[in-house]
Structure 1
Amino acid sequence: MFQNVWNAVEGRAPGYGIKDYDVFYFDATDLSWAAEDRVIVAADALFSDLEVTVQVRNEARVHLWYEEKFGTPAAPFTSAADAIDAFASTTCCVGITRDEAGLRVHAPYGLADGFAMHMRPHRRLAPRRVYETKVREYRSRWPSLTSDPW
């Protein structure tokens, strides 16, 4: 979502520069890859008519693969919101959910940095290289993006 905010701020078309859209869910009842893969396959079919990539992941499983991918262990998350709260930049810690009350925005660090196109590191989980890689990648697509150093 923050990337589409950047597009609006820079006057770009919606969707510009966005590699994929993340859909998170949390199901700790079955942490097997097979269970997550069934959801991924169903989502692929659901979103097959879209011209964008939608990546669906069970945030209850992150601790099972995080260390191998990023070199640092991760404690199990307690919810999808808990996973969002651990992103490498506080600016990116934004999610939207729908419940009986309607749409709700989850932004534990606020939205000001997103609208200001400014990234700040978040050291809760991600290593320095993950934050710095994100900054480089995003800045290549949104040149006016600024960032704090690690």
Structure 2
Amino acid sequence: MPPTIVLAARLSEQPDPTGAAAARLAAQIQGEIVLVYVAEELDTIPQLHASTGDDADALRQRIMEELNRDIATYIERNLKGASVRVRVTEGAVADEVTRAAAEERAEYLVIGTEARSAISNLILGSTTQDILKRATVPVVVVPAVLRLNM
């Protein structure tokens, strides 16, 4: 069984250095990437159902179809050539990412930081801090500065 790298992904139309870092690491250790996406979009289903009257299950299905397309695009753009499995979860990001790393018996966890301002580049965000506190495997943190410069 190949070593596992859990990648906490943020879906974006831009190239993602966090994904690129995970792909490089996977190539170096001949590992498999488990892309974990915490679908905050699914939290909006009750509000959408209330405002549109659409069936909640149909809304969930539409959101999941769009997410699957976005994830496929992300993989093609950032993880091309890597062996990738996908986990879409709901919940608190730090909880879900560290849970996935434990359940997958990951060798590494790869995450990116989120830049909100120049000052925030000097400190880690609360989600990143929570992941670092809870992780039981080495964590590779890709700085927001790299994310902004791509």
TM-score of the two chains, using structure 1 as the length reference: 0.37
Q: Which has the higher contact order (CA 8 A, sep 6+)?
A: 2
